[in-house]
Amino acid sequence: SCEAKELYTAESFIKLSPDTVRIYPTVVLRGTALHQMMLSGEYTPQSVENAVTVCKKLLMRFNEANVKVIRLGLHADESLTSGDEIVAGAFHPALRELVEGELMYDELSSYLALQQCNGKKLAITVAKGFTSKAIGQGKRNTERLKELYSLKEIKVKESDALCGFDFTIEIK
């Protein structure tokens, strides 16, 4: 996986003015030619962490171009996940959630960097359905924000008045 090529490919798709796109980071399946290439050292699989970083950039770019991303990551089909078919690569059953959580973290962190919030409590309000993105997988986002800004507490609630990645923050 080469990030520059992936971004170039995204730009090429954007020039075609599609209504929708799908983003599928490479997953290595047992018994495939790619699996053999990996075993021989010809191919190095992409990590989930790297895929999240690259997919975040792709998702942002497609959003800027008003191209809807209708799938991000391989569907967690039982035939793939029940056994040992997936041997390497950027597979996570909630890859899009990881990517969108990182996007939300970036937005929140950028906002908080401009505030006087060390040692304070935060009340973050997000759009309906965005609580998990604000909190992050396994509370990753709130824990990182607490540590980075020495916050005492972060509470997240939803509002119908907000949409997408919009948020408000009350600092107490």
Those residues of the chain that have pLDDT short of 50 are none
Cβ-based neighbours of 52, under 8 Å, separated by 6 or more: 95, 98, 99, 102
pLDDT of residue 73: 93
What is the C-alpha to C-alpha distance for residues 155 and 74, in angstroms, rounded to an integer? Answer: 32
Write out the H or E segment, with its range, that includes residue 137.
none
pLDDT for position 104? 97
**Per-residue model confidence (pLDDT) at position 56:** 97
Q: What Rg, from alpha-carbon coordinates, does the chain have?
A: 19
Residue 106 token pair: 């970036």
* Confidence at residue 1, expressed as pLDDT on a 0 to 100 scale: 58
According to DSSP, residue 93 is labeled T
- Paired strand residues for 158: 126
Residue 151 near residue 145 (C-beta atoms within 8 A): yes
146 CB-near residues (< 8 Å, 6+ apart): 152, 153, 154
